[in-house]
Amino acid sequence: MPAKKKALQTSAHLKKWSTANKPMLNARLQRAGDMIQEEFLEAFRRLADQ
């Protein structure tokens, strides 16, 4: 079952990578969330001003 072994290796690699890069990934998610929130607030302000 080489495919299963390969899948497990890939999974372990991704787990290691995501753990190592967690601060960067969290920071990006936070920034994206902040940007989306500001877009929504801006849109609601425009609606309220009409």
pLDDT value at residue 43: 96
pLDDT value at residue 10: 92
Tens digits of residue pLDDT in 1-50:
689 999 889 999 999 998 999 999 999 999 999 999 999 999 999 999 99
pLDDT value at residue 39: 97
CB-hemisphere CA count at 13 Å for 10? Answer: 6
Q: Which has the closest alpha carbon to 40: 25, 26, 48?
A: 48
pTM of the model: 0.57
pLDDT value at residue 24: 93
